[in-house]
Structure 1
Amino acid sequence: MNRRRRRLLITLGVVLLTTAGLFTANSSALWGDDDGRPLLLAHRGIAQTFPLDGVDNNTCTAARIHPPDHAYLENTLASMRAAFEAGADMLEFDVQVTADDRLVVFHDSTLECRTDGSGRIRDHTLAELRRLDLGHGYTADGGATYPLRGKGSGLLVTVEEVVAAFPDRELLIDLKNDEADEGERLAAYLATLPAERLATIGVYGGDAPVEVVRSRLPQVRATSRKIMKSCLTGYLALGWSGHVPGACRHTELHLPERYGRLMWGWPLLFADRMREADTRVILVAGDGPWSAGFDRPEDLETMPAGWSGWLWTNRTDRISPVLRP
């Protein structure tokens, strides 16, 4: 064997051994923890779901719900209580700021889609918003019937009321508008809470308001698209070595299952590494658009075996009995 061929074979052997070592070191089968159980994040409590095909930023999702099999309205105390009673481990809810500077729990920045009101949340006072019917616009048959109309009057609540209603539960606040002043308003309220309560509350949303919350209250677990992108690109570059970038620490990742497969050590070792970095990994169904959740028992077929991270769901009542019979 000539010297050139011998050198080529040695190089190839080193490459193969190195590659095998990298994959072994990042193998969930060898290193991941499969002894846990999934934790459930209840998205807006128990919500009315809707088909995702054709949905865009301007779609009124209340006008295309599935035929209701429950009477709960998202982001209301009743739907939140029902989610916890069904087995939720954490509650996510949406936040807007009113004309009188109150933090209210509502998804849309405008009122026309879901309620009998009109205009922006930002242009109405809390008292005005309390008079609206939150179920006014929900229909499953193109407007022929409105099964939830009249059932949402007076149900709008504030962030303070949600925090008080569930004093010992994990909460995740979604700042719906990418406005720095809304981050300032939320940070001012959160700063009034005792440290032990603040430890149970997370924040996510637009880059601008989340950055304000993180700068004012670095102890709060917070994330945004910018933070998640910084974390995941850094991990893709260096995660083969087991290194977890600083951007991944004390935060959370809303990760579509389809893209999680790209991560070193996916799924179990990746979740373990993030857990050691004090970061939650929340698995979102499919590609992750428009709040797709694990909402039906059949959706769980795509959940990684042995998954002990978080699952995003709009229907804790359907999913919890399957996971915890």
Structure 2
Amino acid sequence: MKRLFKKKRFWVVLGLIVFVYFNNSSLFTNPPAQKPMLLAHRGLGQTFDMTGLTNDTCTAERIHPPEHPYLENTLPSMRAAFAAGADMVELDVHPTKDGQFAVFHDWTLDCRTNATGVTREYTLSELKKLDIGYGYTADGGKTFPFRGKGVGLMPSLDEVLAAFPKQELLIHVKSNDPAEGTQLARRLAALPTDRLSRITVYGGDEPIAALERQLPHLRTMSKASLKKCLLPYMAIGWTGVVPDACKHTQLHVPDYAAPWLWGWPHRFLARMNEAGTRTILVRDGGGFSAGFDTAEDLNHLPENYAGGIWTNRIDRIAPLIQRQTQ
């Protein structure tokens, strides 16, 4: 009897292992037909040396020699990104003194512009007078190739929404202030439902939670929402069940961690797509804006990958992806 029990337990365990393997392996699934979704971080902007970066590093002072004339988070840079093949453009927003949202990356104005302080200390019209190309240099301050060329280029969120009425946008709330989430929710609530369906917002836990309370159907993401989705998925995803927290959201997944997700890549992506969730693969954890920016970076993508790709160089990556998927 004891031997029989051991045999049954063996076959149950073996059957479970076989189930888990076949239920999560991508080897026996047909490659997805769609192409990867390309997300252009800050539009098309100047890249910079990431060696030794800290939160206080002024990245405008260490840009690579310019290969194009665009400055991040501007209307020309976003137009160039979409023209190059971006499916979605990411942009950063900050509140202004007069209750609007300026599109600008840094917390302070000191690094890139000819002003000091933070955007919320200025009205939008005052910010429009600044030169956002003032601080860029590729040679340690010997020359400033964009100085004088960035006056008036800091857009408002309203201008971005008007300029790209049908395109996919990813809005980044840079603070952890819940009032900022409420303010953004009021602005976005005025948009038609079909326009809201092409907008995603991510950022600090508190503003995103505040925004979700006002606009529960808007696609959002925060560190808290990532944990609520991925931790339960790691526990039960082997069954094929997708937790409710993973539905209608966006996931930014580091390329080194993605292989640990049940069903990665094709089954995982299919499950998330069915749940109305986008999966964006970021390079090396995405720290300090790391993206898939070179041909070598693309070697880290799974074969026949059809999820999202985060890039700072849409002008380089889109043609490479196009050739790979032809």
| The two structures share one fold, judged by TM-score above 0.5 | yes
Structure 2 distance, partners of 1:34, 1:302, is 18
Structure 1 distance, partners of 2:128, 2:33, is 46
Which moved further from structure 2: 10-19 or 65-74? 10-19
Spell out the pairing of 1:150-189 with structure 2 (5 A cutoff): 150-189=148-187
Aligned to 2:20: 22
In the alignment, is the contact (CA less than 8 A) between 1:36 and 1:307 conserved in 2? no
How far has the Cα of 1:32 moved from its partner?
Answer: 5.9
In the alignment, is the contact (CA less than 8 A) between 1:33 and 1:269 conserved in 2? no
Aligned to 2:77: 79
Counterpart residue type for residue 98 of structure 2 = D
Aligned to 2:223: 225
Spell out the pairing of 1:52-91 with structure 2 (5 A cutoff): 52-91=50-89
In the alignment, is the contact (CA less than 8 A) between 1:249 and 1:277 conserved in 2? yes
1:137-175 Cα shifts (integer Å, max 9, x gaps): 112222222222111111010111001101111111100
Aligned to 1:263: 261
How far has the Cα of 1:128 moved from its partner?
Answer: 1.2
Aligned to 1:249: 247
How far has the Cα of 1:276 moved from its partner?
Answer: 0.4
Aligned to 1:94: 92
Structure 1 distance, partners of 2:266, 2:137, is 40
1:309 equivalenced with 2:307 (yes/no) = yes
Q: Taking structure 1 as reference, are residues 112 and 32 closer, same or farther at Cα in structure 2, changes over 3 Å only?
A: farther
Counterpart residue type for residue 46 of structure 1 = L
Counterpart residue type for residue 35 of structure 2 = R
In the alignment, is the contact (CA less than 8 A) between 1:36 and 1:306 conserved in 2? no
1:237-266 Cα shifts (integer Å, max 9, x gaps): 010011111111110001111111110000
1:240 equivalenced with 2:238 (yes/no) = yes
Structure 1 distance, partners of 2:192, 2:31, is 33
Structure 1 distance, partners of 2:269, 2:54, is 31
Structure 2 distance, partners of 1:277, 1:32, is 19
1:138 paired residue among 136, 139, 148: 136
Counterpart residue type for residue 74 of structure 2 = T
Structure 2 distance, partners of 1:260, 1:131, is 44
Q: Identity of aligned pairs, percent?
A: 51
- Gaps (5+ residues) in structure 2? none
Q: Taking structure 1 as reference, are residues 182 and 32 closer, same or farther at Cα in structure 2, changes over 3 Å only?
A: farther
Counterpart residue type for residue 229 of structure 1 = K
Counterpart residue type for residue 290 of structure 1 = F
Structure 2 distance, partners of 1:90, 1:4, is 61
Counterpart residue type for residue 307 of structure 2 = G
How far has the Cα of 1:62 moved from its partner?
Answer: 1.2
Counterpart residue type for residue 100 of structure 2 = R
State the TM-score, normalizing by the size of structure 2: 0.95
Structure 2 distance, partners of 1:156, 1:288, is 25
SS state at 2:251 partner: strand
In the alignment, is the contact (CA less than 8 A) between 1:66 and 1:140 conserved in 2? yes
Which moved further from structure 2: 198-207 or 56-65? 56-65
How far has the Cα of 1:281 moved from its partner?
Answer: 0.2
Aligned to 2:38: 40
Structure 2 distance, partners of 1:208, 1:217, is 14
Q: Taking structure 1 as reference, are residues 32 and 55 closer, same or farther at Cα in structure 2, changes over 3 Å only?
A: farther
Aligned to 1:324: 322
How far has the Cα of 1:8 moved from its partner?
Answer: 4.1
Q: How many residues align?
A: 323
Structure 1 distance, partners of 2:78, 2:244, is 33
In the alignment, is the contact (CA less than 8 A) between 1:37 and 1:308 conserved in 2? yes
Aligned to 1:276: 274
Q: Taking structure 1 as reference, are residues 32 and 210 closer, same or farther at Cα in structure 2, changes over 3 Å only?
A: farther
How far has the Cα of 1:52 moved from its partner?
Answer: 2.1
How far has the Cα of 1:324 moved from its partner?
Answer: 1.1
Which moved further from structure 2: 187-196 or 15-24? 15-24
How far has the Cα of 1:31 moved from its partner?
Answer: 3.4
Aligned to 2:29: 31
1:105 paired residue among 90, 103, 106: 103
Structure 1 distance, partners of 2:141, 2:7, is 71
Aligned to 1:122: 120
Structure 1 distance, partners of 2:237, 2:35, is 24
Q: Taking structure 1 as reference, are residues 9 and 52 closer, same or farther at Cα in structure 2, changes over 3 Å only?
A: farther
Structure 1 distance, partners of 2:18, 2:53, is 43
Counterpart residue type for residue 259 of structure 2 = R
Structure 2 distance, partners of 1:307, 1:167, is 29
Structure 1 distance, partners of 2:151, 2:22, is 57
Pairwise CA RMSD of aligned residues? 1.4
